[in-house]
Amino acid sequence: EGPIDKPKKPEDISDKTLPMLAEFEWTTVDIEDNEQLEDVFVLLNENYVEDRDSEFRFNYTKEFFKWALKCPGWNKDWNVGVRVKNTGKLIAFISAIPVTLRVRSNIIKSVEINFLCVHKQLRAKRLAPVLIKEITRRVNKTDIWQALYTGGAILPSPIATCRYTHRPLNWNKLCDVGFTALPSNSTNAEMVAKYTLPKVTATPGLRVMEEKDIEETLRLFNRYQERFELVQNFTKEEFHHWFLGGLDSTSSKDSNVIYSYVIEDKDGKITDFFSFYSLPFSILNHSVHKDLGIGYLFYYASDADFNYAERYNEEATSKLKKRLDLIIRDACILANNSKMDVFNALTSQDNALFLDDLKFGSGDGFLNFYLFNYKAFPIHGGLLSNKSNDVEKRSNLGIVML
């Protein structure tokens, strides 16, 4: 396991941008300039990832981009765009953010590549590989040589593969828009009843995460994710950004992109936390519904299985399962109260312990994780190797990507 390419230095890397088609030009998108952020929002809102039947498209908000792209250590040169020379229209985008990864016992300074998007009408021009090479050049100039990215498409050798799962919250709307269908042996009323949740949460000591919780929650989180083989290591500043929306209160804290909660026991100790982010889908050409509210399970941690020397023994696992059933069900309740219509999760982390009992259904999508310029043995993403749809196994994948 380790880097694939022979070690290079930033001075070995060209200072010049890669050749670009004559009618287009490179641009570094200034995401602190509201107009340029709007360009990114419009480009992705009209041209980014859709579901297989092109009924839904991601609807990343500008607040989401501020949260996702302006994390501690963000580099303004890493928001790379391509504009039409004559009109200035943004027709392609790709981004990188700095992350510290741990792959088994190796700590890797890396970036996460996200939001690669080429305008629908320019798909045949082979722009994506040029965007990837250009952002690689810009990242290499800062002496970083590894990258993590995800994709639905099957590219050579993912380091891990997870399945999409969905927990319906507003079953009627999901049925109306064609995301779910009425099973032949059920009535509408039965399906609504199956997914109905109370308005109030059940976990004693559950409350919104605050500044004062950061250090203790980060300690809990670091201990909890020790067992995973691929994780992101967070500094305190990074933890603050990703779970409380960062220092500047104008960003995601107010517009509700990230929702983070802690569970405090009677002695004031934080025993668990969970978080989810809001990323709606635009519903393409539906007469009544224009948006699908979606909550995505983000990071969580619990100390339920800490006191067991052997973390995987039967008793420890069932104690952790009971705890996660309780707190993630509350996450679904809170997502439902925040007007989300479906709660999405992958088969990563310890999700396999609660997906079935909390009524998450397997989706038809897979998410592949790729590590650029780093050879590592595959990491279990929670899928059973026999390709069956039955209960997934606990994964060794701790990282979650937006």
Ligand X SMILES: Cc1c(C(=O)c2nccn2C)oc2cccc(OCCCNCc3cccnc3)c12
Q: Which residues bind ligand X (CB under 6 A)?
A: 49, 51, 56, 150-152, 164, 166, 179, 281, 294, 296, 342, 344-346, 363, 365, 367, 401
> CA-CA-CA-CA torsion for 44, 45, 51, 55, nearest 10 degrees?
-160
* Minimal distance, residue 84 CB to ligand X, in Å: 25
Placement of tokens 């919780």 in the chain? 213
Q: Which is nearer to ligand X, 153 or 309 (CB)?
A: 153
Contact 372, 112 (CB under 8 A): no
Beta strands 342-346 and 160-168: pairing type? antiparallel
* Minimal distance, residue 103 CB to ligand X, in Å: 20
Cα–Cα dist 339/359, whole Å: 18
* Minimal distance, residue 169 CB to ligand X, in Å: 11
* Minimal distance, residue 191 CB to ligand X, in Å: 17
190 Cβ neighbours under 8 A, 6+ residues apart = none
- Supply the DSSP symbol for 392: P
- Element at 332 (helix H, strand E): helix 314-337
380 Cβ neighbours under 8 A, 6+ residues apart = 160, 229, 393, 394, 395, 396, 397
Active site residue 155: no
110 Cβ neighbours under 8 A, 6+ residues apart = 98, 99, 100, 101, 144, 146, 147, 148, 371
Query: Across the chain, which distance is largest between two alpha carbons, in Å?
Result: 66
C-beta neighbour count of 107 within 10 angstroms: 10
* Minimal distance, residue 317 CB to ligand X, in Å: 23
Q: Which is nearer to ligand X, 66 or 166 (CB)?
A: 166
| Two structure tokens written together for 212 | 């004062």
Q: Closest Cα to residue 274, out of 236, 231, 324?
A: 324
| Two structure tokens written together for 62 | 């500008």
Pick the catalytic residue: 127, 230, 346, 402? 402
* Minimal distance, residue 294 CB to ligand X, in Å: 6
Cα–Cα dist 67/48, whole Å: 18
* Minimal distance, residue 302 CB to ligand X, in Å: 21
Placement of tokens 């490179």 in the chain? 26
Q: Closest Cα to residue 26, out of 75, 80, 103?
A: 80
Q: Which is nearer to ligand X, 50 or 264 (CB)?
A: 50
The residue type found at 108 is I
Contact 372, 146 (CB under 8 A): yes
- In DSSP terms, 259 is beta-bridged to 276
Cα–Cα dist 270/290, whole Å: 39
Q: Indicate which residues carry an active-site annotation.
A: 402
